């Protein structure tokens, strides 16, 4: 009997040698004449164990990792095809605490089978939500999504059902559904993981969105840095079309919808929805003025639903199990789950899908295992390069949209980057401004010029040149960028700068020994800084 062995073909696993491991397993099996069926699945999201090899046994799948190609002969000798113990073994995959403690709704199927196997997708509950959606009137479908409490997972947290309702009410001959898959935030990878590991989930969510608003065409806008995701999506779309899930007559219902995947050049600004539309239309990625909102006049001037990957991939389970099921996860107005991504100086980096309401302490230590260096974690940036830097005193704040807003922070796309006690927060603040200066589309002055001046001012503060005056000037500049920028790039670049100043003033050369000293030598702006 052939043993089934799972080796991820996910980009993260490939980057640390999964392809070599897969070849080594096939070669060793042939040499030993031990039949093996190799399955190239998606990653389970335990990246510190990649390449993580799993073997199917009667008791369940047994995990081994991180496996190198040179470990393969030893694994065979130990009887890993039968699930026997080995120094790289971790027991039953589902019992690994990192996985067992999660609440995987969106990532429920990722890592279980071959991502492009349509039969596996259906067997694991795929397209159940779509079939229910096709039987519902569009208004009822939108109400179901609204009642679930789903909010945009791209960072803004805008209610998905409200956006869909606006597009649904718009009168136009053509409407579009656009998936923003331009995942460019530092420390984030959940979009890529899902597109590579469960592409039909995203496709199903987009078909449901099209059914809700009456759209006929859709686009997935990904980035050049994601070649594997692009190839898998293109193949999945073709297979879904051939199986009747896309095209002029979806599953014989008369509903028409088709989509294609487009590849951007990797500009960070194209993650902003109007810049993405410009790029999709074949122009340089420049921010558009609002209004009109894309829901009224979006792609090619038509009403357009724009959601990110996680928002759309959350829809199938909502339709399959009902809004009440989904709404039962989370706290307050932050309902459902979010795939948090642990990166930076962290021992167990990877993806953790949990309901809103847990804390950074739980993520960093219960799941992440503390810092990779073994030193104390001093700061964490939540929400990508425009997110605030949080000190240890904020690690117990519940991760929900409102609680984070109250501390001038944001959850964003769920990216969490940890830094140990050697980090220089003045350099990190400078990097935030420099990042904005490099990635600015250049359309508005506060972002284009403000970020350049921000770098210069921070340099003067750190150098001790007229520090009190420059602190006031930096605060004023941040106000201008927040209130005068056209989009979130310029409008949020001050968040990491202000939070670094507020929580780590000593790194900027500001004397923290006492208020009297500060008042004697400097006038530190009190607002946020």
Q: Are residues 203 and 176 in the same domain?
A: yes
For 476, residues 6+ apart whose C-beta sits below 8 A from its C-beta are none
Q: Would you state the pLDDT for residue 106?
A: 98
Q: Are residues 206 and 324 in the same domain?
A: yes
CB pairs under 8 A, 24+ apart, for 290-299? Answer: 293/166, 295/163, 295/166, 295/167, 295/170, 296/166, 296/170, 298/176, 298/178, 299/176, 299/178, 299/219
Q: Hey, is 281 helix, strand or coil?
A: coil
pLDDT band at 529 (very low <50, low <70, confident <90, very high): very low
Q: Are residues 315 and 409 in the same domain?
A: no
Distances (CA, A) of 434 to 429, 439, 447, 472: 9, 9, 11, 19
Q: Are residues 445 and 409 in the same domain?
A: no
Task: Say which residue the tokens 């065409």 belong to.
Answer: 217
Q: Would you state the pLDDT for residue 169?
A: 97
Instruction: Give dist(CA 135, CA 477) in Å, integer.
Output: 53
Q: Are residues 22 and 52 in the same domain?
A: yes
112 part of a folded domain? no
With 0-12 / 13-18 / 19 or more C-beta atoms within 10 angstroms meaning exposed / middle / buried, residue 136 is middle
pLDDT band at 514 (very low <50, low <70, confident <90, very high): low
Q: Are residues 233 and 89 in the same domain?
A: no
Q: Are residues 385 and 442 in the same domain?
A: no
Q: Are residues 415 and 475 in the same domain?
A: no
Q: Are residues 248 and 363 in the same domain?
A: no
528 part of a folded domain? no
| CATH code at position 55 | 3.40.30.10
Of 355, 387, 420, which one is at a domain's C-terminal end? 420
Domain count, the chain: 4
pLDDT tens digits for range 105-121: 999 999 999 999 999 99
Instruction: Give dist(CA 504, CA 311) in Å, integer.
Output: 34
| Dihedral over Cα of 299, 275, 337, 201: its sign | positive
Dihedral of the alpha carbons of 419, 420, 423, 426, in degrees to the nearest 10: 60
Please say if the pLDDT value at position 159 is more than 70: yes
| CATH code at position 130 | 3.40.50.11540
User: If we measure between CA atoms, which residue out of 409, 12, 11, 343 comes closest to residue 188?
Assistant: 343
pLDDT tens digits for range 463-489: 999 999 999 999 999 999 999 999 999
Q: Are residues 64 and 131 in the same domain?
A: no
Range of the structural domain that residue 503 is part of: 425-513
Q: Are residues 377 and 261 in the same domain?
A: no
Q: Would you state the pLDDT for residue 58?
A: 95
User: If we measure between CA atoms, which residue out of 90, 82, 20 comes closest to residue 48?
Assistant: 90
pLDDT tens digits for range 381-434: 999 999 999 999 999 999 999 999 999 999 999 999 999 999 999 999 999 999
63 part of a folded domain? yes
Token pair listed for 109: 């199927």
Instruction: Give dist(CA 182, CA 365) in Å, integer.
Output: 30
pLDDT tens digits for range 321-379: 999 999 999 999 999 999 999 999 999 999 999 999 999 999 999 999 999 999 999 99
């Amino acid at each position: 009997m052939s043993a089934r062995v799972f080796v991820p073909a996910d980009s993260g696993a490939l980057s640390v040698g999964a392809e070599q491991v897969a070849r080594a397993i096939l070669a060793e099996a042939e040499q030993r004449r031990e039949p093996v069926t190799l399955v190239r699945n998606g990653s389970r999201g335990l990246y510190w164990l990649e390449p993580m090899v799993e073997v199917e046994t009667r008791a369940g799948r047994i995990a081994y990792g991180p496996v190198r190609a040179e470990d393969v002969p030893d694994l065979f000798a130990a009887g890993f095809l039968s699930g026997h113990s080995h120094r790289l073994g971790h027991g039953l995959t589902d019992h690994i605490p990192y996985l067992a403690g999660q609440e995987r709704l969106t990532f429920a199927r990722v890592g279980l089978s071959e991502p492009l196997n349509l039969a596996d997708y259906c067997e694991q509950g795929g397209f159940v939500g779509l079939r229910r959606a096709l039987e519902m009137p569009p208004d009822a479908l939108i109400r179901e999504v609204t009642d679930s409490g789903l909010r945009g997972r791209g960072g803004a947290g805008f209610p998905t059902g409200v956006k869909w309702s606006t597009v649904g009410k718009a009168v136009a001959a053509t409407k579009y559904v656009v998936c923003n898959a331009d995942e460019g935030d530092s420390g984030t990878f959940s979009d890529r993981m899902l597109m590579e590991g469960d592409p039909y989930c995203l496709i199903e969510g987009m078909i449901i969105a099209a059914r809700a608003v009456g759209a006929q065409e859709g686009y997935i806008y990904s980035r050049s840095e994601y070649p594997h995701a692009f190839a898998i999506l293109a193949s999945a779309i073709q297979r879904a079309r051939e199986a009747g899930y896309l095209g002029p007559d979806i599953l014989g219902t008369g509903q028409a919808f088709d989509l294609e995947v487009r590849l951007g050049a990797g500009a960070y600004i194209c993650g902003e929805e109007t810049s993405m539309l410009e790029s999709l239309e074949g122009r340089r990625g420049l921010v558009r003025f609002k209004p009109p909102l894309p829901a009224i006049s979006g792609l090619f001037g038509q009403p357009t639903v724009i959601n990110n990957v996680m928002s759309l991939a959350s829809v199938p389970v909502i339709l399959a199990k009902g809004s009440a099921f989904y709404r039962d996860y989370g706290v307050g107005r932050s309902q459902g789950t979010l795939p948090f991504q642990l990166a930076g100086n962290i021992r167990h980096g990877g993806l953790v899908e949990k309901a809103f309401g847990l804390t950074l302490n739980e993520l960093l230590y219960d799941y992440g295992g503390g810092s990779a260096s073994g030193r104390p974690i001093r700061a964490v940036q939540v929400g990508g390069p425009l997110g605030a830097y949080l000190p240890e005193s904020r690690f117990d704040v519940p991760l929900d949209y409102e609680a984070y807003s109250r501390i001038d922070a944001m959850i964003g796309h769920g990216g969490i980057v940890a830094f140990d006690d050697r980090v220089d927060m003045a350099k990190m603040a400078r990097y935030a401004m420099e990042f904005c200066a490099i990635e600015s589309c250049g359309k508005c002055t506060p972002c284009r010029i403000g970020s350049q001046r921000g770098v210069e001012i921070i340099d003067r503060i750190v150098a001790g040149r007229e520090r009190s005056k420059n602190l006031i000037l930096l605060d004023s500049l941040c106000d201008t960028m927040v209130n005068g920028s056209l989009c979130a790039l310029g409008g949020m670049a001050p968040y990491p700068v202000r939070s670094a100043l507020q929580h780590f003033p000593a790194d900027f050369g500001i004397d923290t020994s006492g208020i009297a000293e500060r008042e004697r030598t400097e006038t530190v702006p009190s607002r946020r800084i």
